A = this chain, B = another copy of it.
């Protein structure tokens, strides 16, 4: 049997066509969403560009959406919703296979963000992510600023 947090990726994947249809169309799959951790994967098929590598906007998306997945699994969604403020992506190598993006937020940061959100009405944090291809090569990295805000 799985506990509730094991089901978050399944819940996110099952509702993607309704919540963010563009991500569903990309074939994006959330593979991990747990307190302080998130990962997602996109296939190469359908996501290429005119030179046969993965389109930049797909790489951006698989990394950017981790902020939402991590927030949902880390901060009570009945109390807080996440927003993205900015994101920078650095393209390091051509991406020519399925790509997995991963990010994490440590316990001290989670506590700080929660305290800020409760005190100030918003808790801001930075997520760094790494995007790797099927060979484990880092094809891109991102750094994004997110906030959680009370409903």
Contacts and interface: CB of A to CB of B under 8 A. Distances in A.
Interface of A: 18-23, 25-26, 46-51, 55-58, 60-61, 64-65, 81, 83-91
Contact of A57 (B23, B50, B51, B85): B23
A17 B24 CA distance: 18
A121 to B, nearest CB: 17
Contacts of A86: 88-91
Nearest to A89: B87
Contact of A22 (B58, B64, B83, B90): B58
A120 to B, nearest CB: 19
Contacts of A91: 83-86
Residue among A81, A84, A89, A91 having the largest count of chain B Cβ atoms under 10 Å: A89
Contacts of A84: 56, 91
A35 to B, nearest CB: 21
A19 B48 CA distance: 8
Nearest to A46: B21
A91 B46 CA distance: 27
A83 B61 CA distance: 18
A48 B21 contact: yes
Closest 10 CB pairs of A and B: A57-B61, A19-B50, A88-B88, A86-B90, A60-B60, A20-B49, A22-B55, A56-B64, A20-B55, A56-B84
Given A22-B26, A23-B55, 15 more contacts: A19-B50, A20-B49, A20-B55, A21-B48, A22-B25, A22-B46, A22-B57, A25-B25, A55-B61, A56-B84, A60-B64, A86-B88, A86-B89, A87-B88, A88-B88
